[in-house]
Structure 1
């Protein structure tokens, strides 16, 4: 029976010579839903509706370019011999940390030019970012990537997963850990947590820093289960190094901003 299992079709739609893949559709859905949430919250926080539309129009393309560049950089041994594969983002290969760096730098420049508080924008955007990441992991699911090590079908069935997930985890004659799903669930939980933290009325910037800490903790442990990690050395995973670095950086910024009186304003002010 297992030999007859067919993976889900990666193609969403054919429009003449144009092929639209599920990977792009799912990521696009995450971006649009995140934009809708951020725009609603921005209006409640006294910003115009156009603020986040303008920011997203800049940040998303830059984030995609940075996510791809980050991935290609650490897989240069392959891409140096297959330069024509570099633009093929529909096949996967977008590193979230690269995209996050690009989005943060864009947000800082955008806030400075609009004379807005970067931390205010970041706090509003934080739940949208982690929700978009949760949705985006299903693009990895459609591409059968970002999975963990080998497991048995019985193991997956004990997780009470639906058949369509179990079958999609059957790759080249072997079942694998659905680490994409573990991270998606972790991120959805983080999204709910950030919505609750809004009501706590943290100091400005601390909602975004909470996002960085939460996401990085989950990513560190889940990354250790994956088999397709970008590697810094033979035993050192880049995403785990980045996760630890972001946790330390976020905690340090949190402490310094409070100590120097740079976080007196609160989220709901």
Structure 2
């Protein structure tokens, strides 16, 4: 047995297999909830707002991620309806989770009389960081990989041996597309944090729109390398189509909103006013 090959199961608890995927996702949620809570207080919101939102958004986002996947694999699930709820076997689409989560944010903020755009700005860096961390759950499950490549190609990327060895899937070496997206997301997180720290640089809502543009731009190209894409027909990748629409929409909306004089700048000082 190759000691560098990872086991998707971390350990067993009372006979139940605890997967690395679940551990990584839960850890990411805890980390980003803490980060978002700190930023919420900094801009004048309450920490409880983030906690309460997470209690609603997480289960609904999981349902959305599963529903999105099932819809575009309906031919299979129509023949196997008993597997629709079998999420332990895989089949969660991040775009479905983001769409469902975005809907929850809209109604939650309306109910709390909070600016939806401000809340999305608070959440954006944390969300993209969670996505970057979450892709390592795909790595542990040996999924979200790309097309066949040579060992020489992987070694030319100067990757650690444990990544190279775990890209040997079904008898062939594969593109580590999980890693490409993880790195892209972490770079996006760094970019958003840098932009957020610049006073009077971004208007309210623009941080969230930059997140959408950044993520969708990278996802469009990375999706083209993958072999497990959800498809419309045999040629159109669902995530590529959605990525293109989201990128164009985010850029267009940002240009439109820039022209609106009534939109305030993103203010990180409201929760911590300077003493006179």
Aligning the two structures, in what range does the TM-score lie when normalised by the shorter sequence? over 0.9
| Structure 2: segments with no counterpart, 5+ residues | 270-276
In the alignment, structure 1 residue 151 sits paired with structure 2 residue 142:
no
In the alignment, structure 1 residue 229 sits paired with structure 2 residue 229:
yes
In the alignment, structure 1 residue 204 sits paired with structure 2 residue 219:
no
Q: Which residue of structure 1 aligns with residue 165 of structure 2?
A: 167
Aligned residues: 267
How far apart are 1:93 and its partner, in Å? 1.6
How far apart are 1:4 and its partner, in Å? 5.9
Query: What is the rounded CA distance, in whole Å, between the counterparts of 2:128 and 2:267 in structure 1?
Result: 18
Q: Which residue of structure 1 aligns with residue 30 of structure 2?
A: 32
Query: What is the rounded CA distance, in whole Å, between the counterparts of 2:222 and 2:267 in structure 1?
Result: 31
In the alignment, structure 1 residue 142 sits paired with structure 2 residue 137:
no
SS of residue paired to 2:236 = coil
Q: Which residue of structure 2 aligns with residue 240 of structure 1?
A: 240
Normalising by the residue count of structure 2, what TM-score does the alignment of the two structures yield?
0.92
How far apart are 1:6 and its partner, in Å? 7.6
- Select between 215-224 and 243-252 the one with higher mean Cα deviation: 243-252
Q: Which residue of structure 2 aligns with residue 126 of structure 1?
A: 124
CA contact (8 A) 1:152 1:175 kept: yes
Query: What is the rounded CA distance, in whole Å, between the counterparts of 2:222 and 2:10 in structure 1?
Result: 28
Query: Which ranges of 4 or more aligned residues in structure 1 deviate by more than 3 Å?
Result: 3-7
Normalising by the residue count of structure 1, what TM-score does the alignment of the two structures yield?
0.95
Q: Which residue of structure 2 aligns with residue 83 of structure 1?
A: 81
- Select between 255-264 and 171-180 the one with higher mean Cα deviation: 255-264
How far apart are 1:5 and its partner, in Å? 7.8
Query: What is the rounded CA distance, in whole Å, between the counterparts of 2:202 and 2:36 in structure 1?
Result: 18
CA contact (8 A) 2:4 2:161 kept: no
- Select between 199-208 and 76-85 the one with higher mean Cα deviation: 76-85
How far apart are 1:265 and its partner, in Å? 3.5
CA contact (8 A) 1:24 1:90 kept: no
Q: Which residue of structure 2 aligns with residue 18 of structure 1?
A: 16
